[in-house]
A and B are shown apart, each in its own frame.
Chain A
Amino acid sequence: GENVEQHPSTLSVQEGDSAVIKCTYSDSASNYFPWYKQELGKRPQLIIDIRSNVGEKKDQRIAVTLNKTAKHFSLHITETQPVDSAVYFCAASLTGNQFYFGTGTSLTVIP
């Protein structure tokens, strides 16, 4: 099955700085890569996703990039705010198959 690795496991940034979280996957057939954000004590929720036919996608302060050749994808958060503090999970999926999650990155934005 698919294997998704996520780094770093913890990340602290100053408010206003950028944060980058990286994931690698093993199955070159995977074609869908969502990112979920989990605030403390809450449920994970989808914040952005990217499909394998796209190299980059942006939504306001967040963006995701995908490198199919290297089999890695990254989440970029610019102008970080304290509300961005949460655990972020990347995932990889193949159409018709289950979601495989990374182990999560705990992001702390220091005011």
Chain B
Amino acid sequence: DAGVIQSPRHEVTEMGQEVTLRCKPISGHDYLFWYRQTMMRGLELLIYFNNNVPIDDSGMPEDRFSAKMPNASFSTLKIQPSEPRDSAVYFCASSPRLGLGGELFFGEGSRLTVL
């Protein structure tokens, strides 16, 4: 397996524009997570899915953020409209299980810069 695949790797956009980040998890992994990484806050969980169903979205900062997982092999994180404070690295991760032995496999990340 190629691992968790994210796109784009880098995105530079202007304030107010819509941003869509994409993720392909490892085949067979039932859990998918979206994290945001900043210097100030480290790794913040935004939302996670189990079998394509959103389980906990309490980390989504505000209504401008939305995430979907239409099938087991694809997820999107959308920001509309984007703001400069959204600039961060967004990681997608997948895992075969939670808790004991549930290793998180991260993608390479999508570095978002909002001007």
> Contact residues of A with B, CB < 8 Å?
31-32, 34, 36, 42-46, 49, 51, 89, 93-104
State the CA gap A99–B93 with chains docked (Å): 11
B-chain residues with CB within 8 Å of residue A103 when the two chains form the complex: 41-42
Q: Is the CB of A36 within 8 A of B104?
A: yes
A14: min CB distance to chain B, Å: 25
B89: min CB distance to chain A, Å: 9
> Contact residues of B with A, CB < 8 Å?
33, 41-43, 45, 48, 55-56, 91, 98-104, 106-109
B-chain residues with CB within 8 Å of residue A100 when the two chains form the complex: 45
Q: Is the CB of A32 within 8 A of B43?
A: no
Q: Is the CB of A44 within 8 A of B103?
A: no
State the CA gap A13–B99 with chains docked (Å): 32
Q: Is the CB of B99 within 8 A of A93?
A: yes
Q: Is the CB of A43 within 8 A of B98?
A: no
State the CA gap A96–B91 with chains docked (Å): 21
What residue in chain B is nearest A104 (Cβ atoms)? B42
Indicate whether A96 sits within 8 Å of B99 (C-beta atoms), given known contacts A36-B104, A43-B106, A46-B104. yes
What residue in chain B is nearest A102 (Cβ atoms)? B42
B-chain residues with CB within 8 Å of residue A89 when the two chains form the complex: 42-43
A73: min CB distance to chain B, Å: 15
State the CA gap A31–B98 with chains docked (Å): 11
Q: Is the CB of A101 within 8 A of B43?
A: yes
Q: Is the CB of B43 within 8 A of A93?
A: no
What residue in chain B is nearest A99 (Cβ atoms)? B104
B-chain residues with CB within 8 Å of residue A44 when the two chains form the complex: 43, 91, 104, 106
CB < 8 Å: which of A95, A97, A104 contacts B43? A104
CB < 8 Å: which of A32, A42, A45, A101 contacts B99? A32
B11: min CB distance to chain A, Å: 16
Q: Is the CB of B99 within 8 A of A94?
A: yes
Q: Is the CB of B42 within 8 A of A95?
A: no
